[in-house]
Each structure stands twice: as C-alpha cells, then as structure tokens.
Amino acid sequence: MAERAPFSVQTIPGFAAIAIFTFVAIYTPLVILVAFSFNAGDSLAIWEGFSLKWYYRAAANEQVQSAAIRSLYLAGISASVATVAATMAALATTRTRHFPGKTMIYALINQPLMIPEIVTAVALLIVFAWVKVATGHTSMIYLIAAHTAFCIPFAYLPIRARLETMDDTLEKAAADLYAGRWQVFRRITLPMMMPGIIAGLMLAFVISMDDVVITEFVKSAGQDTLPTYMLGQLRRVVTPEINAISTVVVFAGAFLVTIFFWVSSNRR
Amino acid sequence: MQNLRYARQNETVGTTTETGQDGGPNTIMQAQTDVAEPAPMPGDTSNTREIAIDARKISKIYRGEDEVRALDNVSVRIRRNEFFTLLGPSGCGKTTLLRVIAGFEPPTSGQLWLNGKDISRLPPNKRPVNTVFQNYALFPHMSVANNIKFGLEMLGKPKAEINQTVEEMLTLVQMQAMKARRTSEISGGQQQRVALARALAPKPEVLLLDEPLSALDLKLRKEMQMELKRLQHETGITFIFVTHDQEEALTMSDRIAVMSAGKILQIGSPQEIYQRPAERFVANFIGESNFLDARLSGGSVTLKAGGTFPVENPANVADGDVSVLLRPEHAFLSDAEDALPARVETVVYSGEATSMHTRLEQSGEPVKLRLANAPTGSGMPEEGAQVRIGIQPGALSVLKD
Ligand SMILES: Nc1ncnc2c1ncn2[C@@H]1O[C@H](COP(=O)(O)OP(=O)(O)OP(=O)(O)O)[C@@H](O)[C@H]1O
Ligand SMILES: [Mg+2]
C-alpha cells in the first residue's frame, strides 16, 4: 500500500468530473460561437460549410470599423487616465503615514465595485442629460469621463496589491544613498510597481472595452462602441457577422493577456 | 546615578579641549557641550575634533497604542575611524539608534551632531551617512554594478569618476566577476558584500551596519568579520555596528556600548567591558560570571566567603555592602592558607578546559571555575571533594547594581 497522501482537493471523489464539467460549461458556448463565425450560410444554428465571408463582411462594414475605432480610442484614453489616477491613489493610501479618514478614502475608492452598474448608469444619464442640455455640448467627453470613473477602482486593485507587497526599506535605502523624493520615486518606487501598473492598465482597458450598460446610457447619437453596436444588431437580424466580430475581440483579448504575462515574467 | 569617575573624566576632556584649541568654528560647540551635561565616555581623553558622531540626550518615543520609549536619554560620542559596536538584547533600541543617526526617524528629543555640525533636522539623503541594512535592501531591478553606482549617481559625480569608483568597490569586495548579474542571482554572502560596497562607494563619513552578518553561516560569518575589519582599516571610515552576538562584539570593536531597555549602560573597550563591567546586567550579558557578596571599604573588599582583597571599582560604588564580579577563568585551585574553602558539586570536561561548579563553605555561594586542562588529563578533584579556591590578583571588580 502506498503511503497516505496529505490532503489534497484532488482526492475528493468526482474532482476530475466536476473540473471537466466546469470547463465544458465555460468554453462550449465560446467554441460554438467561434465555429459559427466560419459558417458559409447566414444561420447561427445550421452549419453550411467553411467560409471567411463574415470576417470580410465585418471588416468592410463601416459601422463596425468606426465602432471598433471608437472603442479602442475610448478604452485607450479612459484606461490611461484611470491608471494614472489609480497609481496616485494607491501611493496615497500605502506610502503615507496614517491620517484621519484614510480607511474611509480606501472604502470610497472601492465602493463603485459594489454599486450595481445600472444604478451608476441611470445616475450618469440624469446628470449628463442635464449638462448636455445646459451646454449643448455632446462630444465623447461624457463617455471618457464615465469610463475613466468606473475604471479607476479596477486599475487601483492590482497597483495597491503590488505596493503593499513591496518592501519600503528599498525606498529607505535609496534615500540613504542621497536620492531625493522624486528620484526615489522615479528610480525605485515606479519601476518596482510597474507590473502592478501594467496589470491595472490592462484590466481597466478590458473593462472599458467590455462595457455595455453605462455606455448605452451615456452615449449620444452616433457614438456606438463595439459592444453597443453589437447589442443594437442583435435587436435586428442576427448573422454570423456578430460571431466574427466577437471572435476577433476574444482573440485580441487573449493576445493582450499573453503579452502581459510574457512581459512581466521576463522582467523578473 | 552618574558616577564620580565619569564626571572627573569629563572635566579633563573639557580642559584639554579648552586649552587645545584657540577659537575656530568648534568653540561654540564646545561651549554648548560644556553647558549641557557631557556624554559619559570612560577612558576618553580625545578632543572634540576627533569626534564623528555626537549624540546628545536623544530620546525616541514611539506613540502607538501604548508608548514605547525605544531610546531613553542616550548620549554617546563616537570617534572618527572607530569601530564602534552597539550590543544588547533584542528590543533594547539598537536599530532605533541607527535609524535616528541615518535620519529615518526623527528623535523625540535630543540632538545629533556629526563632525561639529548639528544634523538633527537633516533628511537621510542630506546626511553623509550610509547604511548596510539587515536584509541588505539591494535594488532587485538593477545589476550588481548599478546598485553600487546608485549613490554616486545621486550625488551627481562625473561619469568617469563613477565608473572608476564602481570598479574599485567591486575589487574591494571581490565581486568583479559578477558585476552584470541581477542581485537575485547571487548568494547571501555575495549580496552582503554588494550591500557593503554600495554603502561604501559614496565614501560616507559614517557607515551604519545593522546586524549585517546575522543571516550568514558560521564560516562565512568569520570570513566577513575579518573582511569588515580590513575594509574599515583601508577606508578610514567610522563604523557603527549593531550585533547581539557578544563574541562578535568583543573580537571586532574598538569600543562597545552595551544597551538595555533604551539606555546605554556602559561604553568601553572590549577589555573594559569584559573585565570591568560597571553593573550586573553588563557582566551577565557578556561572558560567564560569579557574583559574590562582600563589604567594600576603601579600595578593598571583604568577601562574605572570607578573605580581604584589593578590588577594582569602575563605577565608583560607595563603601558598604556590594556585589563583586569574579570571572570563572580568574579563579583557580590553590593550597594557600588564605584560599577560600569550598566543596566541588559538578565537574564538566569540555576539551581545552574543565568547568567546575563549587559551593563556598563559609557563605554557601556557588562559584564556577574554568580550569585549563593539563596534557596528561589528570589531577582534577572528584565531585564532593574539599578544595580551596584562589583568586587571581586584580580579578575582583565591584558592580553597581
Ligand atoms: N515603528 C515602531 N513603532 C513602535 N514601536 C517600535 C517601532 N520600532 C521599534 N519599536 C519598539 O522599540 C523598541 C526598540 O526597538 P529596536 O528595533 O530598536 O530594537 P533592537 O535593539 O534593534 O532589537 P533587535 O535586536 O531585535 O533588532 C522595541 O521595544 C520595539 O518594539
Ligand atoms: Mg534591530
């Protein structure tokens, strides 16, 4: 008889079955979605042969093009601004002495994660509608402001986590070696927290790219992003073009995440 | 509780400095030193010009849920190019004193002077003081060479000079071959040498070392002890070294300060600290001790166990009932008439010496002896035997406790 193994979840009866079921449940719909993006026919249920025509069609669709560009532009700006703000917030809540209200500030930064998105969306709709009427101004600025705001807590989490595990004696050592405050930040703190910042930026970017509810409520006419465009299409005729767009988005996301892991593991 | 001998010596210090210097920028400082109660410094006849660090009545109170008095009115003067060691049990305030000197913690009260200038309010990056941290704190995102370069770059030295100094430092700590490595790719002992090189490169006035050897194994530790002494000698920099290893302190230091509960109990050379501890805590912390009850009168003591002996009195304890210290290696077996009768309780052989626990007949006090072993390995009394114990001349010393 073999020695009794120490406890491991693997020894729970049915562990493998549950694991397999979970993966199947998560990935089957995705696999079907991807498969039908290559359908030669225009059905989402009946396979009529392999074709790339939906990809050509999506790529040639000007509405898709402009929605994709708008999404990238919106996510790029919002995620960057949110990451800068989150970095400052993370520094202020970890690299300072205790001050009254510090815990409260921490709670306030994270609170948006707890508020249902639809509530935020309605609140923003009301405020921005009022501002739009008052100023007559309807540019992308409202979407950028909204996206930046809800991206901040997502960017904040990994950055703060990184800062908390960082030993502050490194910063002391730099100060001991004649570095002024700014030099300590630029030469030590910033490079050390970079993996956290990159993770925060990517998370914020993906969250912004993905958002439907708030965007739908805040956008003005002609400001569709990729997700709101897709939602609009689903209300009308559904063709595998949607599948093709989704597939590209899924693989672009996977590609980004892979690049991130590759970069961060090479740093160490 | 300050004793007479310290006071007397400080008078001498005062007079030497007054006559030794005429005017100059140091006069103001000396005037202040003389007004403020000067730091006790046994055996010190140096003048103020030779003082690197002058800590004056420094207290540090950490205010948290309850107040911690980590430093309690600490005064100490550390000479230039001195290997000065802070020794004491865990939590006695050694690291806190280093942090105050480096500038990481402002003292709650008191002043810190460096080479005749008050640096109490300077931030760490404005002090010509570098630290070797206990966990080394090497920058993990930089190579060995760039770690060493960092301080020089921050000082804005010219490129050529930086490169030359880095090469010198690499040679000094024998890390030439590994200069391009990441600091995570070298061994603990090598990291320690890089930390040392990084702190030495900007040529600080004072180098602070917080238990730099505690993470190393015994062999490497002995090697690094020698290397540290060599570096200190070659660079001429003042070293302030923290350890709680008494042997390390005794072998490496020019002077030792023994600390307990935020206070400095005694400052002196290794010989003074070992042979003439001022109080029981110091005697107990360093080496093995016998404490004997006695009556002090004039320059000699009459032991409760019998016999009258001339005695050293480093802390100037007043006449009366006192405790005296007898180190186990300063007692021996004797046939003399005036030796103290005792009974052997246990005998422990340990290679080069034998430890013998005895009990004095007259007072019932235990006395431990440490006797060198003869080559023949015979001649030690059995347990239960009657013996007489002699005391080497000058071995007894009065304690303040
Ligand atoms: N930041 C702090 N806040 C509150 N108390 C502290 C702080 N740092 C140290 N102390 C307390 O101050 C006292 C002295 O601490 P210090 O670190 O100087 O001890 P040490 O002599 O270096 O001990 P060790 O040999 O264990 O390193 C201890 O009682 C410690 O608990
Ligand atoms: Mg310490």
pLDDT of B350 strictly over 70: yes
User: What is the C-alpha to C-alpha distance for residues A58 and A248, in angstroms, rounded to an integer?
Assistant: 10
Q: Read off the pLDDT of each residue in B135-158 and give the average, rounded to a whole number.
A: 93
DSSP class per residue in B190-239: HHHHHHHHHHHTT--SEEEEESTTTTS-HHHHHHHHHHHHHHHHHH--EE
Ligand 2 center from residue B94 Cα (angstroms): 6
By mean pLDDT, which of A107-111, B86-90, B95-99 is the weakest?
A107-111
Residue of B131, B146, B211 to mutate when probing chain A, most A C-beta within 10 A: B131
User: What is the C-alpha to C-alpha distance for residues B396 and B289, in angstroms, rounded to an integer?
Assistant: 11
Q: Which residues contact B198 (CB under 8 A, 6 or more apart)?
A: A177, B130, B138, B147, B148, B150, B151, B169
By mean pLDDT, which of A232-236, B72-76, B86-90 is the weakest?
A232-236
Q: Is the CB of B90 under 6 A from ligand 1?
A: yes
Give chain A positions within 8 Å (CB) of B212: none
Rg (CA), chain A: 23
By mean pLDDT, which of A206-220, B6-20, B276-290, B378-392 is the weakest?
B6-20
Say yes or no for a CB contact (<8 Å) between B137 and A173: yes
Q: Go through the domains of chain B in sequence order and give each one's CATH number.
A: 288-399 (2.40.50.140)
On whether the CB atoms of residues B292 and B306 are closer than 8 A, the answer is no
Say yes or no for a CB contact (<8 Å) between A177 and B139: no
User: What is the C-alpha to C-alpha distance for residues B43 and B10, in angstroms, rounded to an integer?
Assistant: 10
ipTM metric: 0.73
DSSP state of B134: T
The model's pLDDT over B305-334, given as tens digits with 9 standing for 90+, comes to 888 888 888 888 888 899 999 999 999 998
Q: Is the CB of B95 under 6 A from ligand 1?
A: yes
Average pLDDT, chain B: 84
The model's pLDDT over A67-106, given as tens digits with 9 standing for 90+, comes to 999 999 999 999 999 999 999 999 988 888 778 888 888 8
Residue A157 vs residue B22, higher pLDDT: A157
What per-residue string of b and e applies to B196-211 under the rule 16 or more CB within 10 Å gives b? bbbbbbbebebbbbbb
Say yes or no for a CB contact (<8 Å) between B150 and A174: yes
Least CB-CB distance to A172: which of B104, B138, B202?
B104
pLDDT of A14 strictly over 50: yes
User: What is the C-alpha to C-alpha distance for residues A36 and A48, in angstroms, rounded to an integer?
Assistant: 9
- A51 CB neighbour count, 10 Å cutoff: 14
Least CB-CB distance to B137: which of A169, A178, A180?
A169
Coil, strand or helix at B280: helix
Q: Is the CB of B62 under 6 A from ligand 1?
A: yes
User: What is the C-alpha to C-alpha distance for residues B26 and B79, in angstroms, rounded to an integer?
Assistant: 16
What ligand 1 atom has the least distance to the C-alpha of B134? 27
- B400 CB neighbour count, 10 Å cutoff: 20
Among B311, B340, B269, which residue's Cα sits nearest to residue B399?
Answer: B311
The model's pLDDT over A181-216, given as tens digits with 9 standing for 90+, comes to 999 999 999 999 998 999 899 989 999 998 999 999
pLDDT of residue B61: 93
Q: Is the CB of B64 under 6 A from ligand 1?
A: yes
The model's pLDDT over A21-60, given as tens digits with 9 standing for 90+, comes to 999 999 999 999 999 999 988 888 888 889 899 999 998 9
Interface residue B125 vs chain A (CB under 8 A): yes
Tell me how many degrees the CA angle A196-A198-A201 measures, rounded to the nearest 5. 110
Q: Which residues contact B56 (CB under 8 A, 6 or more apart)?
A: B36, B39, B75, B110, B111, B112, B113
pLDDT category, B15, cuts 50, 70, 90?
very low
Q: Go through the domains of chain A in sequence order and give each one's CATH number.
A: 11-51 (no CATH), 62-264 (1.10.3720.10)
| In the block, residue with structure tokens 């007259």 | B362
pLDDT of residue B49: 65
Question: What would the two tokens of residue A80 be?
Answer: 């960057």
Instruction: State percent of chain A over pLDDT 90.
Output: 51
| In the block, residue with structure tokens 């912390």 | B285
Instruction: Name residues 279-308 of chain B within 8 A of A (Cβ).
Output: none
Give chain A positions within 8 Å (CB) of B137: 167, 169-170, 172-173
**H/E element, A66:** helix A62-94
Interface residue B141 vs chain A (CB under 8 A): yes
Say yes or no for a CB contact (<8 Å) between A178 and B125: yes
What ligand 1 atom has the least distance to the C-alpha of B96? 18
Q: Is the CB of B290 under 6 A from ligand 1?
A: no
What ligand 1 atom has the least distance to the C-alpha of B64? 4
pLDDT of residue B174: 84
Cα dihedral B88, B93, B97, B99 sign: positive
Ligand 1 center from residue B108 Cα (angstroms): 15
What values do phi and psi take at B343, rounded to 5?
-120, 135
Among A245, A250, A247, which residue's Cα sits nearest to residue A224?
Answer: A245
Q: Is the CB of B192 under 6 A from ligand 1?
A: no
Pairing of strands B366-372, B353-360: antiparallel
Say yes or no for a CB contact (<8 Å) between A173 and B131: yes
Give chain A positions within 8 Å (CB) of B155: 178
